[in-house]
């Protein structure tokens, strides 16, 4: 049987990780993998997470299963973190998932169950795994313009022109904040215009929010999501705790559904539980329990928010410093967009040939489309990247 299996193309980011590991140079720089790193190049465990783990170790009395949708307290805490009091509780349904990827996968499965004829509209560009999962599930997909490669800003006119073709029952996939891979975000006025268009077309909006707290702040980063939640009768939200809690390997995510009324929400909740049962039965709990403890304990939450803000401000400073370094080296402001973008990622505008040249000459590892993980930089490696960019003629 196995001889009938076919090889799949290597994941570009995982392939890049392997190349980086095999490079013997001591001064090589990893800007490809999407994890936060501190000034020493390590991905630390937050103090609030460590404190919660210590409490859990002392007080946990069982490792028995949680329910199909996870711990209800986790679901409530995450819904409050993302939505605040925007939506009445009776319209909400949710299920814990293995990471944000699990939430995205379950959302696409739910869409296919609800409307087998749905087309999913995705931004050009988007997180590559969005495209991979959609293709694997056999769901029709259309790309809409999003990023202007010349201005390095959102091509909002092109986006709205393309989305005018959305049909009732289609799904428009949006990034809640810190767009991956570009770092270019919608303004609140633009979010409002998108809400109006989706409401007019009868489509379903789906938001992938993986970086809340990494852009302009916890509340600010939820602004677009909350605006759509307040305006639209239905919404899907796939969220991740990997980045903002730093618990990548714990695979902690959630899928939230907003329905038009309580009766529909109950049915949606049942379908989320059904999907969890089919795919992995009970979701992992360790990371979810830590998140719940932190969000529901005033001391732990205050500590976490302080740590998260330090991470956010550190990334903003790296952006500002890189833009300033490039301005000084090129005597040009063409890289100022780096300081204006938000989150972990930006696209530098380098060609694949220039990306390869930077890797070969300076040991700079980034994805072929020139997406860089800003959080992978520090005071030592930042000038190396700037020098490599100038040398490659970016």
- Which residues does the annotation mark as catalytic? 127, 208, 210, 243
Q: Kindly state the tokens that stand for 34.
A: 């999407």
The closest alpha carbon to 121, from 204, 53, 240, belongs to: 204
Residue in the block written with tokens 């360790």: 286
The closest alpha carbon to 288, from 57, 110, 66, 82, belongs to: 66
Euclidean distance between CA atoms 56 and 62, whole angstroms: 11
**Residue 147 in contact with residue 127, Cβ under 8 Å?**
no
Q: Kindly state the tokens that stand for 217.
A: 């702040």
H helix intervals, 184-297: 188-201, 218-221, 223-231, 262-279, 286-296
**Residue 41 in contact with residue 258, Cβ under 8 Å?**
no
Sheet arrangement for strand 141-145: 92-98, 252-258, 235-240, 204-209, 171-175, 120-124, 141-145
With vertex at residue 44, the alpha carbon angle to CA 38 and CA 46, rounded to the nearest 5 degrees, is 115
- What is the Rg, in whole angstroms, of the alpha carbon atoms belonging to the chain? 21
Q: Kindly state the tokens that stand for 367.
A: 């994805």
125 prior amide bond cis, ω within 30:
yes
Euclidean distance between CA atoms 333 and 96, whole angstroms: 44
Q: Kindly state the tokens that stand for 354.
A: 């220039």
Per-residue three-class SS string for 170-185? CEEEEECCCCCCCCCC
**Residue 323 in contact with residue 335, Cβ under 8 Å?**
yes
**Residue 221 in contact with residue 83, Cβ under 8 Å?**
no
Q: Kindly state the tokens that stand for 10.
A: 């290597």
Q: Kindly state the tokens that stand for 104.
A: 């995205």
Packing angle, helices 298-330 and 286-296, rounded to 10: 100
């Amino acid at each position: 049987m196995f001889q009938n299996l076919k090889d799949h193309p290597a994941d570009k980011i995982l392939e890049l990780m392997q190349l980086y590991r095999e490079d013997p140079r001591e001064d090589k720089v990893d800007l490809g993998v999407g994890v936060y790193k501190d000034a020493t190049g390590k991905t630390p465990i937050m103090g609030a997470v460590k404190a919660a783990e210590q409490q859990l170790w002392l007080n946990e009395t069982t490792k028995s299963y949680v329910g199909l949708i996870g711990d209800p307290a986790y679901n409530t805490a995450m819904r409050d973190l993302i939505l605040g009091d925007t939506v009445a509780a009776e319209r909400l349904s949710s299920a814990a998932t293995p990471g944000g990827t699990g939430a995205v996968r379950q959302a696409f499965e739910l869409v296919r169950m609800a409307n087998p004829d749905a087309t999913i509209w995705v931004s050009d560009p988007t997180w590559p795994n969005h495209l991979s999962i959609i293709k694997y599930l056999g769901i029709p997909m259309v790309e809409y313009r999003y990023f202007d490669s010349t201005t390095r800003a959102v091509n909002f006119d092109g986006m709205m022109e393309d989305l005018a073709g959305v049909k009732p029952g289609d799904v428009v996939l949006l990034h809640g904040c810190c767009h991956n891979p570009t770092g270019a975000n919608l303004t609140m006025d633009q979010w409002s215009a998108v809400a109006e268009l989706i409401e007019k077309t009868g489509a379903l909006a789906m938001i992938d929010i993986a970086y809340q707290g990494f852009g302009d702040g916890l509340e600010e980063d939820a602004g677009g999501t909350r605006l759509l939640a307040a305006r639209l009768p239905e919404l899907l939200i796939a969220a991740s705790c990997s980045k903002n809690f730093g618990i990548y390997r714990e695979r902690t995510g959630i899928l939230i559904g907003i329905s038009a009324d309580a009766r529909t929400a109950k049915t949606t909740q049942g379908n989320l539980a059904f999907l969890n049962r089919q795919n992995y039965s009970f979701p992992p709990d360790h990371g979810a329990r830590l998140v719940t403890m932190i969000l529901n304990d005033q001391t732990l939450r205050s500590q976490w928010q302080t740590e998260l803000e330090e991470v956010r401000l550190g990334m903003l400073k790296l952006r500002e410093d890189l833009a300033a370094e490039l301005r000084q080296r090129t005597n040009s402001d063409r890289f100022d967009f780096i300081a204006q973008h938000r989150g972990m990622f930006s696209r530098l505008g380098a060609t694949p040939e220039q990306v390869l040249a930077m890797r070969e000459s300076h040991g700079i590892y980034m994805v072929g489309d020139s997406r860089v993980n800003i959080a992978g930089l520090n005071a030592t490696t930042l000038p190396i990247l700037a020098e490599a960019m100038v040398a490659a003629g970016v």
